[in-house]
Structure 1
């Protein structure tokens, strides 16, 4: 072993020899062009050696030159076909070494798009590597193109290749796009259930069962394994949520099923993780159901955080096919109505005209005016909303909650009715809504609406007169509905429509007996049992009893009996 002194002596000797050489030979001027060329050549050699394919770089460069000619707009069809043949001959057998790079993958994608012959050759060469291709930042585009443009057999083979890897791929931001496209657009019911089952645990990942299509089926078939299945789903979903790749429809379905069947304790961690990230997922059917379940079962603080995350987007949500259901669920269960007024309703009322111009927006407004009214809502919608009944968080009386929300929207909705009353009162799409609004809402605007409707009814009536309210069935039905509610309004010391109507149209009311509908309007006034209304109707019709007796309308017969 050399001592330190020997090492220093040797080092000085080398330095001295070098100095002598420098003195003997003067330094030559460096040729920078040669130096750069040599450096570039060494870089290419290192790159080629590190990639493990000696001719990969050369093949890539040649392929890109041909591809550049193919993609030119002035390239004729005949030239394009010839160039594609050359390109395919060049890359065949080397596709796997080219497809993972950002530039050469475009060459492969062009061949996939050119025709079925090239697509088949490329797929046959790569079909054993679908999983690794799906994880690659650039190569996964090839898998996406096979799913979009490949034959049914190729699509099925891609989906089959995912078997046993679905959960792993869904945790990868790049690969999750491949799984999403396969599941959402190209998989059949059997393939979808196969992909979903992998989240239920290792046994379902290996042995797929055809009679299990959803979590409900799995829990019914294996009730003793419920705890284990839900635990596996929770573990898989939690890792997916943590990585931020939960915007896929398959994840929405799994989240919905898990939140429906798990206990309140198990729900809380998932709801906690999702509470500020629900906005991107409520545009899908299952995503909207997930948001509804989070609102129904989330603690009060979490509910507020969820709704605050929707700020400045409430109008957009109200106009969406599935998103509007989230708002209905919130209106249906949120106890803090003051918070709802400040955060949600105030934003919606600012764009009320836009809401009523859309089918889904109008549904939101109708729900605020007449919540869960079967006149406006299909039984299927009511059945979905009923799933939130009895949740452990909502404690306020339903009637009180609805009245407070109705009070909050009254001024805006009634002003909108006044502005459009002339047209809406003769439109079949709006007459029921006008009736429901006048029944549920309150405010000084009610008197204005009553007077406007009375003025409309005060036009002289002649049988067959076009445009008269008695000649329009839905308008007459609306007037009758408003009159029937006068009994309740009178008991609550509220304004009465019958009084306004008789005062305004006293001279024309006698002429209404010439119509069956008019007789029923007068009959409904008598049935309100309000003394001043009944006496006024009898006073108006007293001189016309003989004429009523001669009429053969059913309404005239019943009206005569009341007189």
Structure 2
């Protein structure tokens, strides 16, 4: 009936237990089982809402039904039972895992035991094998001929090669003992890589007679020794420490074999070193002639005609040989160049002889130049095959002459191509005895002065703080100084040696036909390009330049040259020199203290600057530069207070130049100051005792010592005449 609530039936305890007790689920014992465990499905939100609504619609509460406390107790019991079962299962799994680990460790120990035994056996076997190998090697070594003797000499060598631990007497004993062993058996030692060192040490510490003994024993074997990888050093040591007899013994065995030896990877260097440093001129000619054809290589064949090594002389005597000789020589040169063996002096000599015989402008000469030129189509960073050849040529006497002739005979384009490979070696070339001639040749014949200045001087004169130091170093060096000052003093005797003048004279003759620009114009343009850097160096380090004679000459040439370039920088440099004028005269600078040469060059430099130009020997007049230097005014302002000391001392001719200088408006002021000190000038011009000495010299008898003459100051006498 409606409105009447039904009483809910309270279930019994047994029924409630059976209904509410959850089913016990066993936990998985492994990870694999847990992965495949079926998870209970989650109720959707709709189902949960429906269940909650049903629960709310119920008319009876938990307290009325009497089920609240009972279910809570049941839940607590279930939770506790689950926890207990979980702990038990965990303990069981840990015990099982521990047992499993123990079993694994036992298995590993069982398996490792035989492995360790095997490794010990293997190590023992390898030791025994190595010991057997060593013993076998010793047996084989001992079985070789002269094994005992070589072993003894090697022990002596071990002691001898120590330079600082053996006294002189002990070394003599060791050398004596060593020669007792090797005498008569030298050939048994020289062909083995270890025992040949013993002979080299014996040569080093032996007497000349002992060295001759070794050389005589090796007679007939020098060609074979030169081809050996280690024995070639024995020949080098022998000719280095030997005398002419040893030299002749070695070199004569090379006759007839030059072609083969110069192409041999080991013998080539020994032959070329001996040719360059040891051989006489006659021996050099004989070795070089073998490059001209097989008929010059026949050993024992008497030389017919000239014995000169110059190809032009040989062909002048036998013109019919020109074609075969030139063909043979060309093949020899090409074979070495293709093998990139381009550093040999013999090769450079042969190339020069070939080019000197070629007539300029002919196809043969042009082909030779074409072969020398690097490939002009190469991009920047790429290097042609013959770049190393051109660099090596520059550093030998014949090679540098050949390259100089290439610059002289080449076209404007050829000169540009020939300069390019030397870009990164310009500084090294400037200091070299032969290579600096190549740079001078490029400066002397190249019409494109911007190209030559940029290619050469941009490397020598950097635009950074190192410029003054580099210039000082170059001025101090005889070769680099020539390259630096050539645009300013191309004909100065103090600058160029005889060899350089001879080389330049040859180029000057050729450039009359191959160059278009006037020589003086060429030099002036080059000087203008490098003048600013040199003026900066002088301004920064004037005192250092003034402390040595070549530095003073350098300043004189640079300050007078190209006066229209950088007038402000030039004025600064001249002011710095004027400030140091007294120190220059007295040689009071630290590096030049007491140097008479520095004083002499200093006076000459100051005189040149005061005059405002160089003295021309042909006209016997000073040629002033334009625009005027203006050094006379700067100089007068510095020495005004002690002009009398200058006039009566070593600087008297500088004052004479000051009174004769053009464009100097204060001459009257100078003469006025000198008039006040006329007595001092007279005393300096005619010192007391000078007339007495002259009278005594007239009455001097024959055989008597000449009296010491007291000469007056010639400059002071000239100044007195001007007053």
Q: 1:414 to 1:164 in 2, by over 3 A?
A: same
SS in 1 for 2:627: coil
Name the larger-Rg structure: 2
SS in 2 for 1:321: coil
Structure 1 residue matching 2:507: 3-state secondary structure = coil
Alignment map for 1:430-469 (pairs within 5 Å): 430-441=551-562, 442-443=565-566, 444-457=568-581
User: 2:505 matched to which residue of 1?
Assistant: 386
- Alpha-carbon contact 1:113-1:119 (below 8 Å) kept: no
1:546–1:245: structure 2 CA closer, same or farther, 3 Å change rule?
Answer: same
Cα offset, 1:503, TM superposition: 4.8
Using the TM superposition, give the Cα deviation of residue 399 of structure 1 relative to its aligned residue in structure 2, in angstroms: 1.8
Give yes or no for contact 2:352–2:398 (8 Å, CA) kept in 1: yes
User: Aligned partners of 2:249, 2:258: CA distance in 1, in Å?
Assistant: 14
What is aligned with 2:654? 521
1:499 aligns with: 633
1:537 and 2:660 aligned: no
Over 3 Å counting, the alpha-carbon distance change for 1:111 and 1:356 in structure 2 is: closer
Q: Which moved more, 1:478-487 or 1:133-142?
A: 133-142
Q: Is residue 171 of structure 1 aligned with residue 263 of structure 2?
A: yes
Contact 2:612 2:629 survives alignment (8 Å): no
**2:203 matches 1:107:** no
The CA deviation at 1:345 is 1.0
SS in 2 for 1:247: coil
Superposition RMSD in Å: 4.6
The answer for the alignment partner of 1:26 in structure 2 is none
In 2, the alpha carbon distance for the partners of 1:126 and 1:515 equals 71
Residues 230, 262 of structure 1: 8 Å contact kept: no
| Counterpart mapping for 1:6-25 below 5 A | none
SS at 1:246's partner residue? coil
Are positions 1:414 and 2:535 aligned together? yes
Counterpart in the other structure of 2:351? 255
Query: How big is the shift at 1:458?
Result: 7.9
For the residue of structure 2 that corresponds to 1:412, the secondary structure is helix
> Gaps spanning 5+ residues in structure 2: where?
1-124, 161-169, 374-386, 463-469, 587-592, 615-621, 686-712
Contact kept, 8 Å, 1:112 with 1:119, in 2: the verdict is: no
**Alignment check: 8 A CA contact 2:610 2:635 kept:** no
- Cα distance in 1 for partners of 2:242, 2:641 equals 78
Pair 1:397-2:505 in alignment: no
**337-346 vs 538-547, which moves further:** 538-547
Equivalent residues of 1:88, 1:111 under 8 A apart: no
Secondary structure of residue in 1 paired with 2:542:
helix
Q: Are 1:315 and 2:427 matched, yes or no?
A: yes
> Which position in structure 2 is the counterpart of 1:71?
154
1:482 shift after superposition: 1.2
Once the two structures are superposed, the pairs formed by residues 542-561 of structure 1 within 5 Å of their partners are 542=672, 545=675, 548=678, 551=682, 552=685, 554-556=714-716, 558-559=718-719
1:41-86: CA deviation from partner (whole Å, max 9, x where unpaired): 9xx9xxxxxxxxxxxx888856678645643437999999999989
Asked if residue 193 in structure 1 is aligned to residue 193 in structure 2, the reply is no
Aligned residues: 496
Contact preservation (8 Å) 1:193, 1:213: yes
Q: Deviations over 1:393-445 (max 9, x none)?
A: 43332222212221222122112212232343364333222111111143222
Question: For residues 490 and 187 of structure 1, what CA distance do their matches in structure 2 show?
Answer: 53
Cα separation, partners in 2 of 1:539 and 1:105, compared to 1, 3 Å: closer
Deviates more, 1:407-416 or 1:358-367: 358-367
User: 2:633 & 2:186 partners in 1: Cα distance?
Assistant: 90
Q: Secondary structure at the match of 1:71?
A: helix
Q: 1:243 aligns with which of 339, 342, 360?
A: 339
> Does the 8 Å contact 1:513/1:548 carry over to 2?
no
- 1:447 to partner: Cα distance: 0.5
In structure 2, C-alpha distance between the alignment counterparts of 1:524 and 1:332, rounded to whole Å: 34
Deviations 1:104-129 (Å, cap 9, x if unpaired)?
Answer: 44335545755799999998897556
Q: For the residues of structure 2 that align with 1:370 and 1:357, how far apart are their CA atoms?
A: 16
How has the CA–CA distance of structure 1 residues 521 and 129 changed in structure 2, closer, same or farther, with 3 Å as cutoff? closer
SS of corresponding position for 2:541: helix
Check whether the contact 2:559–2:574 (CA below 8 A) recurs between aligned residues: no
- 8 Å Cα contact 1:319-1:361 kept in structure 2: yes
Question: Is the CA contact (8 Å cut-off) linking 1:414 and 1:445 kept in structure 2?
Answer: yes
- Partners in 2 of 1:375 and 1:152 — Cα distance? 37
Match of 1:481 among 594, 604, 608: 608
Which residues in structure 2 correspond to 1:103-182 (within 5 Å)?
104-108=192-196, 110=198, 114=202, 128=220, 130-131=222-223, 134-135=226-227, 137=229, 140=232, 144=236, 147=239, 155-182=247-274
CA contact under 8 A between 1:486 and 1:497: conserved in structure 2?
no
Q: How does 1:332-347 map to 2 (within 5 A)?
A: 332-347=444-459
Decide whether the 8 Å contact of 1:483 with 1:524 is kept in 2: yes
Q: Give the drift of 1:332.
A: 1.8
Deviation of residue 141 (structure 1)? Answer: 5.2
Where does residue 477 of structure 2 map in the other structure? 358
CA distance in 2, matches of 1:387, 1:557: 46
Separation of aligned partners in 1, 2:186 and 2:525: 72
Distance, in Å, in 1 between the alignment partners of 2:576 and 2:231 is 68
